Amino acid sequence: MARRFHRATPSFARLHLRFHFMCGQFCVIAPDVRLGRDVIIHNFVNLYGCEIGDRTKIGSFVEIQKGARVGDNCKISSHTFICEGVTIEDEVFIGHGVIFTNDKYPRATTASGRLQTDREWEVVPTIVKRGASIGSGATILCGVTIGERVTVGAGAVVTRDVPAGSTVLGNPARVQETKE
């Protein structure tokens, strides 16, 4: 069960004096996180350098990285990973175990064998538009836009833009024709 949690850092107190949120046990919330009003955060959550909108709920075992933004009235289910470069607009549902990516050509090392630094790869942005629903176990590759009110089926692998109001299923995810 979530409990009230207030950080002791002076910068947090200054920036969020009129806001409150609920936080479970064993949460790591960095001082640079911007939290909206009435955010609910469950157990074992890791947030740093991100922005979370008003009345959003974040399930257990979720990580949201720097530079990611989650809008108002969203539900982020457990075991989800939202990486740098991802923008989730308002009223979006993210199912359990959804994974976002942000690099088209991931490598651990350079051609010379040296460990890569942040400067040696490009963050490729991803946008999930208002009111979309992403089913459990979906993988969202970087550089795509998921349109308003889209439904992404459970386990789908989204590799390209999804038009507003459509439903996509499969690997790779394909738009499903509606039967009239």
Query: Is position 61 within any domain?
Result: yes
Predicted model pTM: 0.86
Query: Is position 112 within any domain?
Result: no
Query: Is position 114 within any domain?
Result: no
Closest alpha carbon to 18 in 6, 2, 33? 6
CATH of the domain at 33: 2.160.10.10
Grade residue 9 by pLDDT with cuts at 50, 70 and 90. Answer: very low
Q: How many domains does the chain have?
A: 1
Q: Can you tell me the mean pLDDT for 32-41? A: 95
pLDDT recorded at residue 2: 43
From residue 11, alpha-carbon distances to 6, 7, 15, 104, 160 in Å are: 12, 9, 6, 36, 40
pLDDT recorded at residue 17: 38
Query: Is position 85 within any domain?
Result: yes
Query: Is position 113 within any domain?
Result: no
Grade residue 20 by pLDDT with cuts at 50, 70 and 90. Answer: low
- Kindly tell me if the per-residue pLDDT of 109 is higher than 80: yes
Q: Can you tell me the mean pLDDT for 120-133? A: 96
For the chain, state the CA radius of gyration: 17
Grade residue 156 by pLDDT with cuts at 50, 70 and 90. Answer: very high
Question: What percent of the chain is modeled with pLDDT above 70?
Answer: 87
Q: What is the mean pLDDT of the chain?
A: 89
Q: Which residue has the higher pLDDT, 172 or 8?
A: 172
Going by C-beta distance under 8 Å and a sequence separation of 6 or more, which residues neighbour residue 166?
147, 150, 151, 175, 176
Query: Is position 178 within any domain?
Result: yes
Domain range for 92 is: 1-104+120-180
Closest alpha carbon to 168 in 74, 149, 180? 149
